[in-house]
């Protein structure tokens, strides 16, 4: 029996084991996730190398987002010029598909990077 268990430890075990019911009595867990208000967030305890990796990652994503926005601007601006001049190079939809593939790849990369766990040194 689980008589003396820290509630936070039990919750962490349930989250990490990805089970939805008790293995002994088959009771289905009722789990709710609530996000703390921003002013109650705590600072992460990270090593300097992890902090540097996080800063590099954020910088990379800001630069990548800037490139995507700039690409869309150029795409729309040049297509507008081509429509006004009456000479279309690539069709607009072809250009838009190329940009959409790039954006989709970027989103997949960002989601994958965000899902990567931060290493846990000392608890």
Q: What is the mean pLDDT of each run of 10 residues along the chain (123 residues)?
A: 74 78 82 81 84 87 85 81 77 76 80 63 42
Task: Provide the pLDDT for residue 117.
Answer: 59
Task: Provide the pLDDT for residue 1.
Answer: 52
Task: Provide the pLDDT for residue 116.
Answer: 64
CA atoms within 13 A on the CB side of 29: 16
Distance CA 123, CA 45 (A): 10
Helix locations, the chain, DSSP H: 7-17, 48-85, 92-115
pTM (2 decimals)? 0.46
Q: Residue 63: is it exposed, middle or buried by C-beta count within 10 angstroms (0-12/13-18/19+)? A: exposed
């Amino acid at each position: 029996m689980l008589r003396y268990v820290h509630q936070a430890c039990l919750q962490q075990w349930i989250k990490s084991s990805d089970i939805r019911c008790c293995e002994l009595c088959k009771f289905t867990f009722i789990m709710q996730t609530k996000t703390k208000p921003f002013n109650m967030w705590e600072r992460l305890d990270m090593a300097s190398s992890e902090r540097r990796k996080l800063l590099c990652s954020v910088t990379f994503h800001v630069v990548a987002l800037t490139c995507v926005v700039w690409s869309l601007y150029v795409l729309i601006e040049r297509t507008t010029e081509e429509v006004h001049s009456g000479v279309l190079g690539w069709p607009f939809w072809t250009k838009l598909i190329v940009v959409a593939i790039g954006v989709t790849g970027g989103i997949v990369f960002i989601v994958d990077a965000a899902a990567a766990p931060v290493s846990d040194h000392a608890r």
